[in-house]
Amino acid sequence: MTGMGRLVLFIYNLLILGLSGITVGTALGWLDPQNYLSTLMASAQNRMLAGLVGILIGFLAVMVLLWTLKPSPRIDTVTVGQGSGGDVTMSIAAVKAIIAKSVRSVEGVKELKPEVASSPNGVKIKLHTMINPEHNVPEISQALQNAVRESLESVGGLQVSEVKVFVDDFVAAGK
């Protein structure tokens, strides 16, 4: 969150805290807000000032609401390593390129759509595949998992936590 966003959230939280204090004071009989409001709204200038404060509070509420509803940014990189010299990261596109190159060595795979996600334990890979029905699915799956894991670890220097294979469809060898 930006510095301006933090400031807006801080002011908004102070206002909510003040309103909750007034509510508790009224519930316990310490305050009579009706007397304060009638005194405050006695002049046109005070009513205008109260209206401006209401507009400001409404604006802050809408801003906070929009910030909370905004989706968090997608992570388009994975961390390869962290050291004293700095972090080494790799783009998701580069990881997918390594996966595509490693899959070429597995016979029977006709189409591949990889999904890459970063996790604290390493990279999680999901491979949506279309394979030749003449090949054994468990063998192809095992070969895919091994090829992808070895390539990402040796070429990319990535820690791979899991490689899942989903066979979406079968395609004949001639197509």
User: 76: which residues sit within 8 A by CB, 6+ positions away?
Assistant: 91, 92
**Is 75 or 78 the better-scoring residue by pLDDT?**
78
**In angstroms, rounded to a whole number, what is the distance separating the alpha carbons of residues 170 and 158?**
31
Q: Angle at CA 103, nearest 5°, toward 97 and 106?
A: 165
Cross-strand pairs, 123: 118, 160
Single-letter residue type at 156 = G
Stretch 37-59: mean pLDDT, rounded?
87
> At residue 108, what are phi and psi to the nearest 5 degrees?
105, -10
CB atoms within 10 A of CB 102: 20
pLDDT of 128 above 90: yes
CB atoms within 10 A of CB 148: 26
pLDDT of 175 above 50: no
For residues 144, 149, 152, 153, the Cα torsion angle rounded to the nearest 10 degrees is -160
Q: Show the tokens assigned to 41.
A: 């709204």
Domains and CATH numbers, the chain: 3-69 (no CATH), 77-170 (3.30.70.1350)
List pLDDT tens digits, range 143-164.
Answer: 999 999 999 999 888 889 999 9
**In angstroms, rounded to a whole number, what is the distance separating the alpha carbons of residues 122 and 80?**
9
Cα 136 to the chain's mean position, in Å? 37
Question: Percentage of the chain surpassing pLDDT 70?
Answer: 95
**In angstroms, rounded to a whole number, what is the distance separating the alpha carbons of residues 40 and 4?**
31
pTM of the model: 0.56
- Are 78 and 123 in contact by the 8 Å Cβ rule? The answer is yes
